[in-house]
Amino acid sequence: MARQRCVFEPQLYDEAGLCDNCRSMKPAVLVTRRIYPEAVEYLKQRAEVDYVDSDDGLTADELLRRIRGKQAVVSQLTDKFPPAVIDKLEGVCVIANVAVGFDNIDPAAATRRKILVTNTPDVLTDTTADFAFALLMAAARRVVEGHQFVHSGQWNKWRIDLLVGQDVHHRTLGIFGMGRIGQAVARRGRGFHMRILYSDAVRAPEGVERELHAEFVSADRLLRESDYISVHVPLLPETRKMISADQFRLMKPTAIFVNTSRGAVVDEAALADALEKRVIAGAGIDVFENEPTVHPKLLKLENVVLAPHIASASVDTRKKMSMVAAENAIAALEGRRPPNLLNPEAWTGA
């Protein structure tokens, strides 16, 4: 089998991928915070595992200290790997992120150091789309306000206009980013007989447009014509704050805005302002610019449904994400190309 390199001594590998000095040694993996136990077991059967069995996360210094002597890191989106950190990683072959998003890692810096970077796509697509739609529905039909109303004992009579919301069915759904999750959200919209508009840097294949009856439009047209707007783009320099005051001004005053991608794609202060001044009608927000801190204005508004970054949080999906990350890490350590390799330029194996 062709090997990426010996995990310990790149220059001295044999056919099994191990150098003379370390043929009997197991590679070492750091798991930076709690993941599902079956993934830890899988790793332990194949490597020495330094498991941070806690939800607290490591500081930047602790992260670097714990990585020392490891060949793989199973990381989460709270672990930051900017170039300054990546440049200090000695002997690390792979960073396996337990997330589809990887804006916490600088892939270019990793590529320069020949460190493989992987993520966990596919397994979370439908779960995340379900939740985007749940936020959309909750905001449109005022589910949380209804819950609070009943829960606080305020419900004492039926009223024709009590907590009236907006219809979802047969309305227009605008999707920013027609990748896997955007398509899954569009599919749900079709189930509600919605008209689908989308905007993206690259047009989706014809088959996708046909299946979803999705129309490729400019960002401005999407903002002007949509009743519901859902964002599914990765966080990149060009998507940072792509939804800001100007974009909210273009939306309908009845529009409902949903974000399950990354908080920094939206200018959170501008969102809070747009909701407060009723520039738009409502929002469903799962991701924030400085998690777990939320803009204080958002915490006071009734026309926004807030969630703590849980769009992919079903038991099955979070287990699968843990396993996929573990499998990516082990593949790299065993010299196999990881299934979800993000920086193929760093791959020197066959």
* Residue 312 interacts with ligand GLV (CB under 6 A): yes or no: yes
Taking CB under 6 A as the binding criterion, the range among 28-36, 68-76, 99-107, 290-298 that sits at the site for ligand GLV is 99-107
- The answer to whether 135 and 307 have CB atoms below 8 angstroms apart is yes
Active site residue 345: no
- The answer to whether 72 and 47 have CB atoms below 8 angstroms apart is yes
| The one among 124, 139, 223, 231 contacting ligand GLV by CB under 6 A | 124
CA distance 188 to 88: 44
Nearer to ligand GLV, 10 or 101 (CB): 101
Nearer to ligand GLV, 100 or 132 (CB): 100
CA distance 105 to 102: 6
* Residue 118 interacts with ligand GLV (CB under 6 A): yes or no: no
Question: Minimum CB separation from ligand GLV for residue 100, in Å?
Answer: 4
Structure tokens at 125: 């697509």
Q: Residue 73: which of 83, 58, 84, 112 has the closest Cα? A: 58
Active site residue 249: no
Provide the pairing of β-strand 116-118 with 94-97.
parallel
- The answer to whether 61 and 88 have CB atoms below 8 angstroms apart is no
Of the candidates 141, 309, 336, 337, the residue annotated as catalytic is 309
Of the candidates 262, 268, 295, 327, the residue annotated as catalytic is 262
Number of H helices, E strands in the chain: 13, 12
CA distances, 237 to each of 106, 184, 259 (Å): 12, 25, 18
Distance of CA 74 to the CA centre of its chain: 16
Residue 131-170 contact track with ligand GLV, rule CB under 6 A, x = bound: ----------------------------------------
CA distance 279 to 95: 42
Question: Minimum CB separation from ligand GLV for residue 268, in Å?
Answer: 16
Taking CB under 6 A as the binding criterion, the range among 68-76, 98-106, 109-117, 168-176 that sits at the site for ligand GLV is 98-106
Nearer to ligand GLV, 77 or 115 (CB): 77
- The answer to whether 60 and 80 have CB atoms below 8 angstroms apart is yes
Q: Site size for ligand GLV, by CB under 6 A?
A: 6
* Residue 99 interacts with ligand GLV (CB under 6 A): yes or no: yes
Active site residue 90: no
CA distance 272 to 268: 6
Taking CB under 6 A as the binding criterion, the range among 94-102, 146-154, 156-164, 276-284 that sits at the site for ligand GLV is 94-102
Nearer to ligand GLV, 35 or 99 (CB): 99
Amino acid at 11: Q
* Residue 264 interacts with ligand GLV (CB under 6 A): yes or no: no
Residue 168-197 contact track with ligand GLV, rule CB under 6 A, x = bound: ------------------------------
| The one among 30, 43, 94, 100 contacting ligand GLV by CB under 6 A | 100
| The one among 91, 101, 146, 349 contacting ligand GLV by CB under 6 A | 101
Burial class (CB in 10 A: 0-12, 13-18, 19+), 205: exposed
Taking CB under 6 A as the binding criterion, the range among 11-19, 97-105, 106-114, 195-203 that sits at the site for ligand GLV is 97-105
Q: Residue 234: which of 339, 135, 119 has the closest Cα? A: 119
* Residue 234 interacts with ligand GLV (CB under 6 A): yes or no: no
- The answer to whether 165 and 181 have CB atoms below 8 angstroms apart is no
CA distances, 91 to each of 40, 94, 333 (Å): 21, 9, 11
142 three-state secondary structure: coil
Nearer to ligand GLV, 77 or 341 (CB): 77
Question: Minimum CB separation from ligand GLV for residue 321, in Å?
Answer: 7
- Residues forming the active site: 262, 291, 309
Q: Which residues bind ligand GLV (CB under 6 A)?
A: 77, 99-101, 124, 312
